[in-house]
Structures are given as C-alpha cells and as structure tokens.
Structure 1
C-alpha cells in the first residue's frame, strides 16, 4: 500500500511539474520597432515566457536562457502585432450585400467569421475591432478566440449597429431606435451581452435626444461610442453628443470638411480633459479603387480562401467578375479627389488617426486590407512610416483601454509580435508578406 501511495505521489509531482513548466522563447537578431517612441533597436533580443514578454534588449546586453526556443529574426523588422480598428468579420469581399445577407447568416458563426479572423491573424493582425455583426455570433466568436478554440486576433466587438431605422433585411445586425427610452434599452441590451464598444450610424437621422441617450447610456456602462462620419451633420451631432471617435472620411463629394465642422473638431481635440478624439478614416479602399478596377489580379490569389468553403469562394469570385460595375463604389470617382484633403484636415486639427480598413467590404479581403491601408498612409498621404505603424499598434490599444497588455513590445505585455524580412520603415508594403506571427507567446505563422 505504501509503495502504491509513493508511486502515486511521485506521479503527481511529475504532472504538477509539467503543468508548471515555463515555456521560454527568444526572438533574436532583428531590428525592433517596439511601438513606443524609442529609436529602432538593432540586433534585438525579445524574451518570452509563456504568453508574455519578460525582457527586451540586444544580443550584446541580454543573455538568452539555455532552455529557450530560439526564433531567428536576422534580416527582419520586428514589431508589435498589427491592429485593424474597423473590420467586419461577417462579410468577406462579396460585391452583393443583399445576396450575402439573405444567403449566409446561418454560416456566420461557424464558418465565415472564423475564416475572417484566421485570415486577419495570418496577415499579422493580432488585434481587431469588429464594428457590426449579429450580437450572439459576435460574442461567441470573440470568446472562442479568447479561449483558444479558434485562431484569430484579440477581438473587440460592437455587435449590431445602432441607427434610426435598419435597412430592409439587415435587422439581425442593425437595430433601430424609436425613442430615447428605446435607445437606452438597446444600449443596455448590448452592454448586458458584453460588447466592448457601441457603433452608432446615420445619427443625423436620429433626434438629438436619441443620440444623447445612446451616448449617455453607453458611458454609464463604461462603453465607448464610435460614430459614422459620412456626412457633416453626422459629425456635428456626434461631437455635440460626446462620442468617443468617428469612422470613415465621408460619402459627400464636397472638397473638404465645412469650416464649422473643422472648428468643432478643433475645439473638441483641444479639450484635454476629454482625452483624444480617435478617428479611423478607412481610406484605402476608396483611394485605391480607380487602380483596382483595372488591376485586380489579387482576386485570383488564394490567401482570402482560407477557412471558406468552395461554394462560398465561388460565390464571391462570381460577384467580382466585373469590378467596374460594383454599385458600392459608384460614387467613388467623385469622392476620390477629396480624400487627401479631408485626411489632412483631420491630422491638422488634432484627431488621433487609427489604422482601420472596413475589411470585408467588396474586394477588401481580410488577408490584405491592413497592409494596404498602411501603404496608402505612407506612400500616398505622406505619413511617416513610424507614425503609421504606431497608428496600427500602440494607439489602437490606447483607444480600447488595453494598452496595459497590448500595443508595444515591452516587458509585461502579451507577446503579440510579427516579423517581416526587410526594412519596413523604408518599404512599408513589405507588410503584405508577414513572415512570423506570434500571438500570446505562441507562434501561429
């Protein structure tokens, strides 16, 4: 009996020891852009224990534990995992929304949204904000990723849009409000379900009292409110109600934002007590469309197929056979000349701009959206590469109040790290081919 008990005790010790064993990883050799204001660190060393970063230094200053698994980053740029602050997991580039919305809701949770999440992760996106989807599906996919059951970026979700009246056939992911009381009830329902943010659209069609009710109720529950900025009146009403951020650069073909909108924006961003006003311009899809119409070889690629069924892939491809006919972009030729000026106005007047893409809209595959946005910011709009990278790493984490754990490569934070062959500060488009992806300390690519 004693011998059997002894063997059981040693077996328990061995099991406990294995369970408590620390997994150590060392990323060695690359040039590190850590997401802070530090200069790039040459010959960098990043030490990871389990999910978190425990030390950052150089080959000359930081010893590597003998038991660490070594990942060479020689010849690479190493940087925090990217964030995309405006994605739609429920769509995958299909050109016909009405067809998609009536055909695929039953596959959102188990096929389409997981496929979108996986594609983002493989593209180096380790954090994402999903702004618009069915409530239960959005929460379920977020939790499946958090629990490690499916691969994907750390998700922050809004669930359904809040607007005055949902478009026909979209009631599953668009909620209308009939009164201030109804607006509060809808926001409470979202908060109780556990969303991370409230998405407000078409607020220029709502009463002032309804908009105020949405913002006030969301803030009571500690939730930020992100509003559309397609039309000047949406911006005016959103600023007046105290929203926390805006999305897009506008549907109107006006050459610039009106003077009163600019003045209101300037007054808001000057009020330091309110904190930053975050703005996600989602500019690339529109900016690149004139080129994409005639140069769409990327549609024949297969990176956007990951996780989707052959039937869905075929349906998407058929919908994109004639990019020049896609109704979603019919106003883009008129809007295109205004994009650079509006982007400049936002930067000049204090908005804190974030990388986000509207990923999932027609021809905007999750596998390529984010690097394209960075490329346009840097190579077309004149944003320094280091600032664009911080807009895709550090500032998104700040915007979601998650910068204690994410957004930069410093001791104590989750090891969300990517590496790319070459010098990203010189050629930001290298991010279209991310070579290494680490999510919470685990290599996934």
Structure 2
C-alpha cells in the first residue's frame, strides 16, 4: 500500500524526533574549562553525544521535549582526565605475586573493573602507561565499542626500557640497540597504541633513546618518560620527549641547576608546544596519613566489579601498610615534593593531573580526587588551575582539545556534576554525583 508523501514525511520526522536524545542541565555553577570564573545559573544543552549549546537560565532556550536535569546547588564541569593510570593493577602491595598470579585475568576481570571504578569517580578519559599490549588494546576498544563501562582510554602498552626487570617482560620491553629500539616502537605503533612510554632512559645510549623518540614521532605518537633522576630528564629533553612523569625517586631536596636550565630552555620553545609534566604527588604525599589511618583502605568503592577472591588478596597484601618495601623511603622523599613541584611551575612547564593509580594502596576509585586535593591543599595551586590540569591541558597534550576537555558547543558531552562548590572545597570531588560520558548518563 502506497502512503501519501505527507504521511512519509511525518513518519520520518517522528523517527528523527525519537532518535535524537536531548538533555538540558539546568541551574548549576558551570566551570567550562576556559573562563577564569564560573558561570552561575548555567544551562548546558546536550544533543545525542555532543554539547549543542551553553548559556544561562533566561537567556538560552531549552528545546521542547528535552530531558531536564536539575543541577541547582551543584558544580558542573568537564569530565576529569587521569593522565597516569595502570588498569592491570589495583592497590595490591606485592608486585611479584600480582604479576605471577593474575595476568590471565587482566583482560576480562581486572582491567574492566579498574576502568569502571575510574568512570564512577568522574574520570571520563584516562591514559594507561604500562600494560600488556594485546590486553590493554582489547579493553580500550571494548570501552569504545560500548561493551564495557569505562573512560575513553589512551594507552601505551608495554614500557620501553634498556632491560626489563626480572618477571616484568609482559609489560616491559627491552631494547638491544637503535635498530631494535625502532623495531619495538614500530611493533607498538602497529599494535595500535596511542603513546610511547619510556622508563630508565638514562641507562640507554643517546643513539638508542633518539631512535625511540624519532620513531615514535614518525608515527605521530607522543613520548612520555620517567623523570626520577636528573640524567633521565636531561637525556629526555635532548631527545625531544613530550611529557615527563613523576617528581623523582631521589631524596635530593631540589632539581639541580642544569635540570632547571634545561626545563626553562625547553619551556620557552613555544613554537614546538608546551613541555608537559605529570607530577603524580598524592601517593607519596598521602602515604604517612594512610599508614596511620587505615580505615581509609576500607572504603569499598574499589570493590566494584572486582572478584571476591581478588578483593581478599588485595586486603591481605595491604594489612600492614607500614611494612611495605615500596614506601620505605617515602617519608624521606615527602619533604622534597613541595620544592620540586614549585620548581616545575617556576620553570614554565605545564602540569597535568595523573596519579600512578593502581600502585600499592592507590585505588582507581579514589586516586584522582586525592591528587587534585594535594595540588590545592598542599601545593598552593588554585582550584581552577588544578581543574584545568585535569581537563583542558590533558586534552591539549593528547591533541584532543577539539573534541573534549571543555564544556563547549560541538565537543563531546563528557560532563560531571558535584553537589556544592568545588572551587571552594576541592575534596567534594571524592563524591561525584553525576557522570555523563559522550552524552549518556552513566551515574
């Protein structure tokens, strides 16, 4: 039976109206990621997976039929990024035991649980810096397909280093010479990684290190490198590393003059873009508190999706945090953190929020807000700048700022909302009330 053209048009319009999902977040204090001051009584219109419009109540019309979500009394802000996580681990204190016991369960159980925990904590994008290649690629892609919940993931796969530590070959690849270095980077690039991770580059020859960085850049992959020792930093700067990680294993009170001179020189070269740094200070700064206040470890947010036998194993491993070898020198390192953090700011590098989430005592459900809290409460960073370090700047570093990182029309709707004023009380981020990822409300 033939239908009249107007009936067909009406059916098409009805189908279109049903297919398009429109949400309106109304009334909250908006931190859009660009402005220095929040926008009061905000309205954010979301159409399917993108932000359609941003404005204020009384000025921006809400589309008819939109799902109205009240954000009155809440802070509305871009979804958080965590630029240094490890989905393959989740707080267990014995690396040797973990990596000899659980690799067969990484892809299907542990990594998906870690990813879900990050998402529920308001982390809508994360960067995994060290994991078995096939497993982390599959988990990343499963998240992107919508098969499992988690942040949008950017992954490095295995570390590149001169010689892997015994028993870590699954997620650390050694290199023999410059040719082998290029071959390993090519294998990672062909495997689909988003970034190359270097560690202990001061143990490489300059030719080997330059081969890693040059080959990565040939594939348009940024290079991330550890910065525990002055020579690691200096060699990384000379080779053209894009992003350094950590504030140093050393108990030295500050970065030496030659490192500071190198950082200032590189930071001044804005024609090649900012020099990025992920300081990952909260794990070190908070250890003494956690050691003496173990009730914090009983927060069951890290149990989400984790099998009961693994939860039991993790609990047993952290029963005596004061005895953990991983942290025995931490109390000596802690007094140096503020000075080094300030030096990095003074040198002009761009700091980003990352946590090393998953290391002993550090759970994916809690690490990111703890890092922001330490930046603001201990390091003297303004709440607005700390939030930019967890939203805007990571998107710039990963060259995704045209897609995410701010609440701007045309970008993906990665948005979180928290009851209260996050700019005044940054620790409110420990309880994120609403999470929207790519337009879908997941919490």
Instruction: Kindly state the Cα deviation for residue 406 of structure 1 after the two structures are TM-superposed.
Output: 0.5
- Written as runs of structure 1 = structure 2, the 5 A alignment for 1:92-107 is 92-107=90-105
Answer whether contact 2:290 2:296 (CA < 8 A) is retained: no
Which of 421, 424, 429 pairs up with 2:422? Answer: 424
Aligned partners of 2:19, 2:300: CA distance in 1, in Å? Answer: 39
What is the TM-score when the length of structure 1 is the normalising length?
0.97
Report 1:8-407 matches (<5 A): 17=15, 21-407=19-405
Distance across 2 between alignment mates of 1:19 and 1:278:
44
- With structure 2 as the length reference, what TM-score do the two structures score? 0.97
TM-fit CA distance, 1:201? 0.3
Distance 1:433 1:274, change over 3 A: same
- RMSD over aligned CA atoms reads 1.7
Deviates more, 1:310-319 or 1:59-68: 59-68
Deviates more, 1:421-430 or 1:30-39: 30-39
- Going from structure 1 to structure 2, the CA distance change for 1:205 and 1:53 (only over 3 Å counts) comes to same
Change (3 A) 1:66 1:317: same
8 Å CA contact 2:245, 2:280 repeated in 1: yes
Q: Is the 8 A contact 2:131 2:171 kept in 1?
A: yes
Superimposed CA distance per residue, residues 328-364 of structure 1 (whole angstroms, 9 cap, x where no aligned partner): 1111011111000000000000110000000000010
Q: Distance in 2 between matches of 1:333 and 1:432?
A: 25
Determine the C-alpha separation between the residues in 2 that align with 1:153 and 1:174.
Answer: 24
Instruction: Give the Cα–Cα distance (whole angstroms) in 2 for the partners of residues 297 and 306 of structure 1.
Output: 18
**Cα deviation code 1:189-233 (max 9, x no counterpart):** 011111100000000111110000000000000000000001111
Query: How many angstroms does 1:37 deviate by?
Result: 2.5
| Structure 1 residues 289 and 271: alpha-carbon distance in aligned structure 2, compared to 1, 3 A threshold | same
SS in 2 for 1:92: coil
Q: Distance in 2 between matches of 1:103 and 1:330?
A: 25
State the distance in 2 between where 1:43 and 1:160 align. 46
Instruction: Judge conservation of contact 2:144–2:152 (CA < 8 Å) in 1.
Output: yes
1:21, distance to aligned residue in structure 2 (A): 2.1
- Unaligned segments of structure 2, at least 5 residues: none
SS of the residue 1:434 aligns to:
coil
Q: Deviations over 1:156-192 (max 9, x none)?
A: 0000000001111111110000000000000000111
Query: Residue 299 of structure 1: CA displacement?
Result: 1.3
- Cα distance change, pair 185–317 in 1 and its aligned pair in 2 (3 A): same
Whole-angstrom CA distance in 1 between matches of 2:422 and 2:11: 48
Q: Does the C-alpha gap of structure 1 residues 28 and 236 become closer, same or farther in structure 2, counting only changes over 3 Å?
A: same
Q: Which runs of 4+ in 1 moved over 4 A?
A: 12-16
Q: Supply the distance in 2 between the matched residues of 1:265 and 1:95 (Cα, whole angstroms).
A: 34
**Secondary structure in 1 matching 2:202:** helix
Contact 2:121 2:432 in 1 (8 A): yes
Distance 1:326 1:71 in 2: 46
Quick one: distance in 2 between partners of 1:416 and 1:14?
29
Counterpart Cα distance in 2 of 1:109 and 1:223: 24
Give the Cα separation in 2 of the matches to 1:14 and 1:412.
25
How far is 1:39 from its partner? 2.0
1:409 alignment counterpart: 407
